[in-house]
């Protein structure tokens, strides 16, 4: 779980996860604006404290606005789903379904990782498939997809179906005499 700190002078709430600092809420401008919209676009007047509720949401004491504001952490974003792999010659084509947008933060790209070996391919936000190359032929592989957001990478999908890429030395079919 992330730890959460509030920067009153900057009117932002930041999370620290595995040493990476990201802004969770507040655009840095004093005021009261943004309830129901993206938390990073909200205006916060004076942060007196922040903590987590039982569901992992941030509770923010916006003292000068006389409000306790609840923020869904971007880390709560869903992972890509329905990951399907198709084997080829030392490659696999991997496709998936995009996760829903949560808290107004759009996906900026995807990273696909093979297991074993850790071969990776990356795509832009509108591309929902990629070809992972450099795979060992004859070895079963599965693939996991991570959505990348401007403020970091989210949890991996469940693994794809296992596929066994063909080795370049394997010939299928028949050759003419």
pLDDT of residue 45: 86
In the predicted model, what is the mean pLDDT of the chain? 79
pLDDT tens digits for range 125-161 = 889 999 999 888 888 999 989 888 776 666 778 899 9
pLDDT of residue 7: 47
- Interval 56-64 mean pLDDT: 80
CATH 2.40.10 range(s) for the chain read 3-75
Of residues 165 and 101, the one with the higher pLDDT is 165
Peptide bond into 116 cis (omega under 30): yes
Task: Using the predicted structure, report yes or no on whether residue 93 has a pLDDT greater than 60.
Answer: yes
The set of residues, in sequence order, having a beta carbon less than 8 Å from that of 78 and lying 6+ positions away, is 99, 100, 102, 154
Q: What percent of the chain has pLDDT over 70?
A: 76
pTM: 0.55
Let me know: does 107 contact 149? Beta carbons within 8 Å. Answer: yes
Q: Which CATH superfamily is domain 77-156 in?
A: Immunoglobulins (2.60.40.10)
pLDDT of residue 16: 62
The pair of structure tokens assigned to 138 is 């004859």
Q: Which CATH class is domain 3-75?
A: mainly beta
Of residues 51 and 171, the one with the higher pLDDT is 51
pLDDT tens digits for range 8-57 = 456 877 766 545 566 777 888 888 888 877 777 788 888 887 777 766 67
| CA torsion through residues 39, 33, 30, 58, sign | negative
46-55, 83-92, 150-159, 166-175, range with greatest mean pLDDT: 83-92
Residues 75 and 79: their CA atoms lie apart, in Å, by 10
């Amino acid at each position: 779980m992330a730890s959460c700190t509030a920067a009153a002078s900057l009117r932002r709430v930041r999370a620290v996860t595995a040493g990476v600092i990201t802004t969770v809420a507040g655009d840095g401008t004093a005021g009261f604006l943004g309830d129901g919209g993206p938390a990073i676009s909200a205006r916060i007047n004076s942060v007196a404290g922040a903590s987590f509720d039982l569901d992992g949401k941030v509770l923010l004491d916006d003292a000068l606005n006389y409000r306790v504001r609840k923020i869904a952490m971007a880390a709560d974003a869903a992972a890509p789903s329905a990951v399907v792999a198709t084997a080829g010659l030392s490659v696999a084509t991997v496709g998936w379904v995009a996760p829903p947008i949560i808290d107004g933060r759009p996906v900026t790209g995807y990273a696909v990782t093979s297991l074993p070996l850790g071969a990776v391919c990356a795509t832009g936000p509108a591309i929902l498939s990629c070809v992972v190359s450099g795979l060992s032929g004859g070895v079963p592989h599965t693939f996991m997809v991570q959505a990348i957001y401007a403020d970091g990478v989210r949890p991996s999908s469940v693994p794809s179906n296992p596929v066994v890429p063909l080795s370049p030395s394997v010939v299928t079919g028949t050759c003419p005499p």
